[in-house]
Every structure is written in C-alpha cells, then in structure tokens.
Structure 1
C-alpha cells in the first residue's frame, strides 16, 4: 500500500498579513485567496529495511532513522519530522518501516504558502494511513499548531486553511485561533476572466519570510501606528476584492491590487525593494493596472492584473527581467488523499 495526498498552493489576492498574530488577535484579520494548480505532494510507502526514511524529492534531501517516537528537530527536514512527531504523540503509529516522501511544485520561500501546504499534505498522508477522522477545520488547525507552536515558525494562518479547503475563499481571523472560511460562489465566467487576466510571475528569488513576519509582529506589539494602519487598510482591501469578484466588477481588480501594494510597503521593511519597484513600474507601463507580491514579500512570486489583451505585452516585459511566467489554473478542490495498491 502507498498512502498519498495532494494539497494545492495558493495566491493571495487581498488582505495579506492580517492573518498574523498579534494583529489578528487584537483587531481581527480578513484575507481573500484562491488555490491554484500547483501542489504539495506527500506519500508514505512501506519499506523492507528497518527504520524510517524521510525525503524531499524536489530538494534532494534525505535522512534515515531507527524506529523512534521522536525525531530530532535540528534544522533539517523539520516540517516532515515535526508532523511525524506530533502524529506519533497524539495517535501513535504502528511499528512498521516506511518512507515518507514529499515534493512541492514551487520553491520554498516563494510566497505561495509552500511550507504550510506541505504540512497539510503530510498530515493528509498520515490521516489516510491511520484512517483518522479529521475534518477540514481540524486538519488546518492541526497544521497551524504544528508549525507555529511545535516548531516555533513565524507566520500566519491563511495557508493551512487554503490548502485544506481549496477554492476561492474569504477568510476571517480572530483571537484564540478562531478562523472562519467563507467559500465564495463566484460565477464561472468571472473566474475565467480573472484567470485570463492574472499573470503569475516567479522572480527567481526566494526569501526568508519569517524575518519579515517577525518585524510585522514587532510593529504591532510596539503600537507602530503606520504599520497598524496599513494592516487596517489591507483588511478593507479584502472586503473590496470580495465585492468586486462576486459582482463581476473585474475592471476594479487591478486598482484594488495596486491599493494593497501601496499599503503593504508600510507593514515592515524589505517587503519591497528596488528590484521589485522597478519591475512593478515597468509592467504598469506595459498595461497592467496593479499587482501584488505573493506571501510575506521580499521576492518569490508576484501577480499582475492585465485587462483586455495587455497580458501579452506584460509577459514580454516580464521576460526581460530574468524571472519566469508560470502557467496555472484556479482549483476548486483542497486536500485530497487516497490509497494506492
């Protein structure tokens, strides 16, 4: 038997950063995101040799252990080991030899929620193996708990819920880790146009999101008015984007993205930089009406809204910057698990 899972990565469309504590605890956060046809994959396969093998096939990293209830958290493959340790602690695993393998369709630190989506996928594979009765909210919160509490990794809450639920969602975040996921019933013709007009671009750089997020958290704790006001306005942006998509006012999407781009700069240093600013201005001259840095900022993926047929001129312009335009489709499904014979 092979126990498999797949969870979709996401692009954030509005409200990014307002899902991070302590802002979401004190003021409440709101985010609008959509899952896309890039995935984190996980497989658990029995092996003949004694012990446990964990490996990331995309990053070509592997570790081997004798059977143990607690694997060392030492900076190597910690996401995989963190999930294993928590599953072992809460549910107990049968003493069978196996290999846990993962693969992610985008680089770590690229702003599509790769780390959290990978944690969701690994939980899904173990849930399939052990037949755990976990619902969508259970899995998403479990992933959040493992990352933020067990592994002490800085970050928000949106990625785990996007990966688990899938689709286009308006999410609300409150104190005590309360999250409400509101799936949006957007007409297919509006989604088709949004998909056509949104260009996904990888800058070919990755970044350490935790550094940016920690500064954002520090700004809230220290009552930095400029940073907190920017987060308030980004929360408003999420509501603006929700209304525009539901009512088919797609001509407003670029301007709403641009509004968010201006505000996000004020949340923390290094969210933008000279290279990003130069690129952003160039694609706006080519016809894009707005864009967004995906994730915490500083690099990774960006999206640009290109109305009419401007996407082709925008893509030509992007190709001169050394990154890569990535094809994608919006997806409706979240985490999926299955057993292969």
Structure 2
C-alpha cells in the first residue's frame, strides 16, 4: 500500500500568466506558497477476489472492469499514462474542499501520479512529476488550467515560478530568514461559494488577446513583489498594498472572477485593517486571502464570523510518500 501527501497552494501574484495561451508567446511569472493543508491518495493493487478490477473512491465510488469505464478523467488518464496494467484500489482524502481556488485539481493529479510512481517503484523527480501532471491536465484531458498549481504541489515551499515556451518552467525558491514575517500576516477564509475553475478560466483564456496590457502589469507586480521579499526588511504593508493592486487587475481579466458577494467580503476585510487581499485561484468563489498585521486579525475574523477561517502555514516538502508497505502485485 502507498499513501502520498501533497500540499495545496496559495497564489499571491501572477495568476493568469501561467496559462500556455499566454506564456507560449510571452513570459509568465507567479509567486506562490505551498501550505500545510493536504491531499492524500491511498493506492494499492487490488486483490483478484472482486467482480471488478478498478475501485476508486472520492466523492463518488466507482467500480469498473476497464480503465475506459472510469468516469474520473484524471484517474482514467493517469492510469493509461503510467501504464498501470493491474487492478488498483484508489482512495482520495483532502483537508480542504475541491473547487475552492487552492489548486485542488492539480494537487490531486500530482498526488495520484506520485502514488502510481511509488506503486511501480519509480523514483519521483519533482520536475518530472510537475511536468507530467501539466501534460495530463492540459493535453490529455484538455482542462482549462494553468501550469503553476502542478509545480507548487510537486515542489512545496515559497517560490517564484517563471514560464516560457522554451524552458517550460523554472522554480526559483524565495528564501527568507524567518518565513513567519509573511505567514503571520496571512488570513484565509472560505467564502462558501463553489464554482468550476475550468469555467472561470475559460473566460480568462478567451480574453488573453485583449488583456495583454493587464497581464504585463501583473508580471511587473510579480517582479516588484520579489524585490520586496528579497529586501533586508520586508515591508508587509507595502506587500499587502501590492496584493491589493494585483486583485484590482485580476478582477478586470474576466467578468466572472468576482461578484457582489466577494466584493462585500473583500471590502469588510479592508475596512477592518487588511493591507490587501484577493480571491485565490481562477476566481468566482472558493477561498479569499487577506494580508493584515497580526493585531488586526481578531477584528477581521469577528467581522467575517459567518465565514470559516482556516489557519495555515508553509509546507516545505511538496508531494511525497508518507507510507509504503510494498504492494503484492496480483
């Protein structure tokens, strides 16, 4: 039996420039942080005592005799891509809900691929793991997804990730003497609004040709934020203000990124002392992040008491195997 553990992520800057439709003709760049909330995949070869060959449990339960019968598109594509010939039993657990802006879909893909690699005794290189996840999601199942979530899930940590047509992606870790200088200012809330990231992303991708100036502005903000993080003393108020500007630009990329409910939540956070914030992921719902001085946290949490506040910290490991007992290959 194999158990893989893979972190979700918070994207601070540059989301939207990691779509191939953009970075295959222009440079893309994001700043993201893997967090200590996880997707878990349990995987083993299925003993031959059942009247089915594949058993997959997520929010549905599937039992099939062929890969082509499997409804879950990532599971179906990953089994074929990894050439898993024997029957398997797959169980998914997660700390946070899907479709919530924390890269859950790509985290699932990375975690599943990592589990399959361990099942087949293949060493997992983080670059290959991220690259394979991107290929499966963008080329095999044709999802409207960017490329940052797979990288963040595979690598972990706090990173600037650059994208280009020639190099694919390059991970540049952001090293801080004390990461709590950033994490102590973070407040994460679940809005309770569920949405399909692919639907929201489809509109953003469609608008890329007319949003070139906005996307270039977002990359400039990534570079400015990187300089702030690399300075001797990090001005978190300025960092938060820059995040506020990033949110202003992001909202302009597509009509469905924000709505009245999100705008109200955001305004309350800002009125209670937040330096800045943004909806995470493609937009339209899910989780919202604020940056605020720690002394303002209680006020913001009280004002948004109808929302679930989720304490988070950084994850430094990325996707890894936490249990391997060796599987009997029937």
Q: How far is the alpha carbon of 1:15 from its aligned partner?
A: 0.8
User: Contact between 1:107 and 1:206, CA under 8 Å: does it hold in 2?
Assistant: no
Q: Identify which range, 299-308 or 118-127, moves more after superposition.
A: 299-308
- 1:320-335 maps to which residues of 2 (within 5 A)? 322-335=306-319
Q: Which residue number corresponds to residue 340 of structure 1?
A: 325
Tell me how far apart the structure 1 counterparts of residues 106 and 22 of structure 2 sit (CA, whole Å).
20
Q: Which residue number corresponds to residue 101 of structure 2?
A: 111
Q: Counterpart of 2:20 in 1: which secondary structure?
A: coil
Tell me how far apart the structure 1 counterparts of residues 254 and 167 of structure 2 sit (CA, whole Å).
23
Match status 1:305 vs 2:305: no
Aligned length: 320
Residues 33 and 254 of structure 1: CA distance in aligned 2, closer, same or farther (over 3 Å):
same
User: Contact between 1:30 and 1:172, CA under 8 Å: does it hold in 2?
Assistant: yes
Q: Which residue number corresponds to residue 212 of structure 1?
A: 200
Q: How far is the alpha carbon of 1:197 from its aligned partner?
A: 1.1
Gaps of 5+ in 2: none
1:200-256, Cα deviation, whole Å (9 max, x unpaired): 111011111112211211112xx31xx221111111111122222222222312101
- 1:52 aligns with one of 54, 72, 78: 54
User: Contact between 2:114 and 2:124, CA under 8 Å: does it hold in 1?
Assistant: no
Tell me how far apart the structure 2 counterparts of residues 313 and 17 of structure 1 sit (CA, whole Å).
32
Tell me how far apart the structure 2 counterparts of residues 154 and 143 of structure 1 sit (CA, whole Å).
13
User: Contact between 1:13 and 1:241, CA under 8 Å: does it hold in 2?
Assistant: no
Match status 1:83 vs 2:67: no
Q: Which residue number corresponds to residue 256 of structure 1?
A: 242
Match status 1:140 vs 2:130: yes
Tell me how far apart the structure 1 counterparts of residues 294 and 307 of structure 2 sit (CA, whole Å).
23
CA RMSD, Structure 1 to Structure 2 (Å): 1.5
Tell me how far apart the structure 2 counterparts of residues 296 and 103 of structure 1 sit (CA, whole Å).
23
Q: Which residue number corresponds to residue 68 of structure 2?
A: 71
Q: Which residue number corresponds to residue 287 of structure 1?
A: 273
Tell me how far apart the structure 1 counterparts of residues 283 and 121 of structure 2 sit (CA, whole Å).
38
Q: Which residue number corresponds to residue 120 of structure 2?
A: 130
Match status 1:203 vs 2:202: no
- 1:222-301 maps to which residues of 2 (within 5 A)? 223-224=209-210, 227-247=211-231, 248-301=234-287
Could you tell me the TM-score, scaled by structure 2's length?
Answer: 0.93
1:152-208, Cα deviation, whole Å (9 max, x unpaired): 1111000000000000010001115710111111122xx213211110111011111
Gaps of 5+ in 1: none
